[in-house]
Structure 1
Amino acid sequence: MTMALRAWTVCDPKAGTLTQSLGVARQFDPEPHRVLLDGWLPKWRRGLFSPYRRIEKPEPDLIVSCGSIAPRHVFAIAEACRKRPFLVHLQPYEGSGRDRYDLVFAGRHDLRRIENPPANYREMLGAPHQISAAMLKALRPAARARWAPSGGPVVTVLVGGPTKAYDYGEERIEALLSAIRGFSAEGRTVLASPSRRTPEALLDRLLSARDDGITVWDRTGDNPYKEFVAAADAFLVTRDSVTMPSEVATTGRPVFIFDLAAVPGEKFEEFEWFHRDLSETLGLTRPFEGRLYDYAYEAPDESRRIAGIIREEMAMQG
């Protein structure tokens, strides 16, 4: 029987950190209490000066945090609790008090750089998230009826934005638009979703490709992202994201990674290792080389797997 616990998430409001925290916390509590952070907690804000000295909501049994600014907040919350909550962080954390976390989950691409990781470290694949196979199965009939009413194959294209690792030059943008138009010409319905990081100029280029077979979300109204994922038979995902390929691999359907212009440096090397691992080691994705095709893999359910490790550790600690 699954333990029912009171879970809190502690992170900044960025979509990437929030969805990781919620994805794991909701394995224990369907509506975790969210502590959204707007900055670092100064060292002097302890004791009587702590913003968490009075916890009004029921105290947490479990705190799941993510992001570099979260730990000091988490420790302050834990100090204010009558019974110490179980503490989990979803990112490598090498700062002061790292042993105060019961578990720290580091991505395979991060963990490879850490010599002799601490005993509380565990490995995770990419980024945990809130997408599940059951959710997508339930959404799929209505999503296909809404976005691909004529039937036929659907390809969902997920577009990020420039990062410290990758850039969107004119040649890459044209290649992306050409791929989208090519899918439509083959008789596929194309559902394209920009992210919050997609620049307006790139969004405008995507919107210019719309036609009867190509739908591009213009970032107005409700975000159809989950419906686009549920409706898809295959995916094309830009290379600048860890979260997006992690989410869509939950479907077990083909995931192709669209290459971008390199920005040399540590971040580039980190992302390249991540994508090689997904493709060559784990067999979850394929590089996009101009065509889509079927292949099989065992779809991961990382949030649930991480939750299982947490439950085991909590049971061991009593």
Structure 2
Amino acid sequence: MKRRVWVVSEQKAGTLTQCLGVGQYFDPEPQQKIARRVPPLKRIFTPPLFRPDEKRPDIIVSCGFRSEEPVMRMKKAYGGHPFTVHLQRPKLNGFDLVFVSRHDWEPELDRRANYHSMVGVPHRVTMDRLAPLREAARRRYAPNGEQVAAIFVGGDNGAYAYDDAALRRITATVRTLAEEGWRVVLSISRRSSQRTLETLLALRGPAIEVWDREGENPYLDYLAAADAFLIAKDSITMPCEALTTGKPVYALDLTPIPGERLEKFEWFHRDLQQVLKLTRPFEGQLAAYSYTPLNETRRIAGIVAAAVAERD
């Protein structure tokens, strides 16, 4: 049954895609409400995030701490009717369902019936989106049937650094894979520094494709074409997206930055590798292995659908 959905997110692309991933299971075109940081002196000139005379949504999916207060105002304005789903541990109470990543879960949350754990984060990548792209992507990136290694990198994030040592490691890895017969497609993220971009662009060659951040992002085509993935450890979303394919997903080490943030990321990777047996550490080879493809977005949507139906 189609539902009217609003997604309320911070301005970060990764936060918005989590909300859209879940929201689009109920509404192909959910209305987007972006909660931006507005300086106090400019608030009087800033349009409100919503108007009470707008048609009431059935479900509100939100993520990010800036979205919490607006969602509570929306819920109150519509007499508590919208079913509210938050994709992060909130500071405020009042959400109907909350989903918290396993690496952020704490024992005290076991007592909250409306809280559920999730692996990593939800997203918009599905095999339904990738399957129609695979044939054309394979023709482009593996015209002679070569194996394709998709390498995804990000940027410094307080847990890991793309310093000289990290860039040397990535460079050596890309060259080795190409020498071993892999066709390498390498994606740079929005967080990647100019230095990282320039270092990796220098690797371009007949067997190595590097997106230069010009034109349309080929990320989905890379996902569709790949036979194996090597993903830098600073990302949580990208491994989750790659794991929908059922292809091998390896974690690429970077230079660690000691601290609480590093501990959380390392917990995430140990959980994927040692507990859930989904990914593996990269030790020089992209060997094949099997696992059940991960689709947390669909699982989360199923829990939401059941809860909404029960309330109806």
State the aligned residue count: 308
Q: 1:293 to 1:172 in 2, by over 3 A?
A: same
Whether contact under 8 Å (2:35, 2:49) holds in the other structure is no
Taking every aligned residue pair, what percent have the same amino acid on both sides?
A: 46
Is 1:17 aligned with 2:11?
no
CA contact (8 A) 1:52 1:76 kept: no
Matched residue, 2:170? 176
Partner of 1:164: 158
Q: How does 1:1-318 map to 2 (within 5 A)?
A: 3-39=1-37, 51=48, 54-55=51-52, 57-81=54-78, 84-93=81-90, 95-96=91-92, 98=93, 100-112=94-106, 114=108, 116-318=110-312
C-alpha displacement of 1:312: 1.2
Q: Distance in 1 between matches of 2:201 and 2:108?
A: 42
* Cα separation, partners in 2 of 1:8 and 1:170, compared to 1, 3 Å: same
Distance apart, 1:58 and its partner CA:
2.8
Cα distance in 1 for residues equivalent to 2:255 and 2:105: 25
Q: Deviations over 1:199-236 (max 9, x none)?
A: 00011000000001100000010011001111000000
- 1:261: how far off? 1.2
Cα distance, 1:142 vs structure 2: 1.2
What amino acid does structure 1 have at the position aligned with 2:225?
Answer: A
CA distance in structure 1 between the aligned counterparts of 2:109 and 2:81, rounded to whole angstroms: 30
Following the alignment from structure 2 to structure 1, what is the Cα–Cα distance between the partners of residues 50 and 125? 35
Structure 1: gaps (5+ residues): none
Following superposition, the deviation at residue 76 of structure 1 comes to 1.5
Moved over 3 A (4+): 112-117
For 1:117 and 1:16, locate their aligned partners in 2 and report how far apart those are by CA, in whole Å.
29
State the TM-score, normalized to the length of structure 2.
0.94
Deviation at 1:113, TM superposition (A): 6.0
How many Å separate the matches in 2 of 1:157 and 1:55? 46
- Residues of 2 paired with 1:114 and 1:265: CA distance? 23
Compared CA separation, residues 117 and 207, structure 1 to 2 (3 A): farther
Moved more, 149-158 or 217-226: 149-158
TM-score normalized by the length of structure 1 = 0.92
